[in-house]
């Protein structure tokens, strides 16, 4: 068994993998003010509910884009399982079959997305990750990360409107029936949800054009299914893609130590 941890700006995602498939995936808010003991108690409870003993977990892998939370989670995993986790970062990148753009700048989640897409498809691919940020990571058929585009995520955009205006409410992410909003809620949904549909289509088209239309697109992230009308843009929607990439990084590091 493996425990794979992907810490994002909004959630920390824990995946339990049993050599062939994901058995369980759990999410909890990524809070830098929470002590290691709180995360440990949560993980213990999840494992208890699934009848998995601590001794059954042989590997842990940690990816984090929240530097202040990384030591907390690293300490928690070490103390809970009795061994250090593999931590994704520039130190392990030379072991990967990727040519990585600016290794000390690129997010570990984006590297994981690129590796998962490259391993799965072996062709030019743009991974669109619908998270706190909306990211577009393009990897070539040869395993070179060609570039990244970043925009605010759907929830981030809605919360920004709510936080910076006096009269606009925070609204659910739902596709409105019309682009002509007839209420404040529908107006925001039309502007942001339908607007983001256009943003995703436009950027994917531009990326494909720069690669002479030789590029597939894959969606991932917690909000990847929130805009159903984008289904035709993607070859696949794979919510676990980032976790798959983190797992593959861990397996590559482990294999290099044998």
Backbone angles phi, psi at 129, to 5 degrees: -105, 115
Cα–Cα separations (whole angstroms), residue 139 to 110, 116, 216: 10, 10, 10
Strand order from edge to edge, sheet including 236-237: 145-152, 133-139, 125-130, 216-220, 236-237
Query: What is the token pair recorded at 235?
Result: 């070859």
Query: What is the token pair recorded at 215?
Result: 């590029």
Stated as kind and residue range, the H or E segment containing 125 is strand 125-130
Place of tokens 């997010």: 107
| Residues assigned a catalytic role | 109
Helices (H), the chain: 36-49, 70-81, 108-121, 154-164, 184-189, 195-210, 241-256
CA distance 58 to 212: 44
Query: What is the token pair recorded at 225?
Result: 């299914």
Q: How many other C-beta atoms can be found within 10 angstroms of the C-beta atom of residue 188?
A: 22
Query: What is the token pair recorded at 2?
Result: 């493996």
């Amino acid at each position: 068994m493996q425990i794979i941890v992907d810490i994002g700006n909004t959630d920390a995602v824990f995946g339990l993998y049993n050599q062939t498939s994901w058995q369980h995936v759990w999410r909890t808010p990524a809070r830098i003010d929470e002590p290691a003991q709180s995360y440990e108690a949560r993980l213990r409870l999840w494992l208890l509910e699934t009848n998995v003993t601590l001794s059954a977990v042989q590997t842990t892998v940690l990816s984090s884009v929240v530097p202040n939370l990384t030591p907390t989670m690293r300490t928690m995993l070490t103390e809970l399982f009795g061994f250090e986790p593999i931590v994704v970062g520039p130190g392990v990148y030379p072991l990967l079959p990727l040519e990585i753009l600016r290794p000390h700048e690129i997010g570990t989640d984006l590297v994981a997305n690129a590796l998962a897409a490259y391993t799965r498809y072996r062709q030019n691919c743009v991974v669109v990750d619908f998270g706190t940020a909306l990211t577009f990571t393009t990897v070539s058929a040869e395993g070179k990360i060609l570039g990244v585009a970043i925009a605010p995520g759907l929830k981030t955009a809605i919360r920004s409107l709510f936080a910076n205006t006096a009269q606009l409410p925070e609204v659910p992410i739902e596709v409105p029936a019309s682009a002509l909003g007839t209420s404040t809620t529908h107006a925001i949904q039309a502007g942001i949800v339908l607007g983001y549909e256009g943003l995703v289509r436009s950027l994917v088209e531009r990326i494909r054009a720069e690669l002479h239309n030789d590029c597939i697109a894959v969606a991932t992230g917690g909000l990847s299914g929130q805009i159903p009308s984008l289904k035709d843009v993607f070859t696949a929607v794979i919510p676990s893609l980032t976790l798959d990439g983190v797992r593959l990084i861990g397996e590559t590091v482990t294999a290099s130590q044998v």
